[in-house]
Amino acid sequence: MSALTFLPAVENPELLAAPVAAAIAAMDATTAARIEVAAVDPALADTAAFCEAYGQSLDISANCLVVQGTRGGVTSTAACLALATTRLDVNGAVRRLLDARKATFAPMDDAVAQTGMEYGGITPVGIPSAWRLLLDARVAALPRAIIGAGIRGAKLFLPGVVLASLAGAEVIEDLAKPVA
């Protein structure tokens, strides 16, 4: 098992995608101080591999998924954050929240281009301001969550309340369903 070195995210922008570093730098000092970053092997960035290699729990790991909803030719985009032990309810809760006839995961190239982040590292911190941010209530309730840092070579560690305090964040009960 590899060890993690936790560092203040605001002081280590080299471990963050540029939009993530900018978002953290723009936060009030008290909030920014609650966010830590740790460098990880990019080959182990995927949630299950990361948790196994670094001895972290899937119960506190959250994945950010970019979803697009379409109705009448109008497409809206949302970053959705759900625990790794759950499955995002794209065709139910997310589709309804986006008031969409159809909801799908955004194409990888679109998500990467629009966020300025790496695939497999996309995080809700620093997403485009026009996007909605939907957080499963289980993530918002965590004392300490693990999420992407915008790059595959790092992870952010922060309280769920910090995620819930991000601009435009909407905490949603049952945004995701537990995986059996």
Rg (CA), the chain: 15
Q: What is the pTM of this model?
A: 0.94
Task: Write down the pLDDT at residue 2.
Answer: 79
Q: With respect to residue 71, please indicate whether it lies within any of the assigned structural domains.
A: yes
Q: With respect to residue 167, please indicate whether it lies within any of the assigned structural domains.
A: yes
Q: With respect to residue 99, please indicate whether it lies within any of the assigned structural domains.
A: yes
User: What CATH number does residue 28 fall under?
Assistant: 3.90.960.10
User: DSSP secondary-structure letter at 167?
Assistant: T
Query: pLDDT of 9-49, one tens digit each?
Result: 999 999 999 999 999 999 999 999 999 999 999 999 999 99
Average confidence (pLDDT) over 51-73? 95
Helix (H) or strand (E) holding 113: helix 108-115
Task: Write down the pLDDT at residue 13.
Answer: 98
Q: How many CB atoms lie within 10 A of CB 10?
A: 19
pLDDT at 122 over 90: yes
Residue 95's nearest CA partner among 75, 112, 109 is 75
Task: Give ∠ CA 91-97-102 in degrees, rounded to 5.
Answer: 40
Pairing outcome for strands 102-105 and 132-136: unpaired
Q: With respect to residue 2, please indicate whether it lies within any of the assigned structural domains.
A: no
Mean pLDDT of the chain: 96
Q: With respect to residue 106, please indicate whether it lies within any of the assigned structural domains.
A: yes
Q: With respect to residue 44, please indicate whether it lies within any of the assigned structural domains.
A: yes
Domain extent, residue 104, equals 7-178
Number of domains in the chain: 1
Q: With respect to residue 1, please indicate whether it lies within any of the assigned structural domains.
A: no
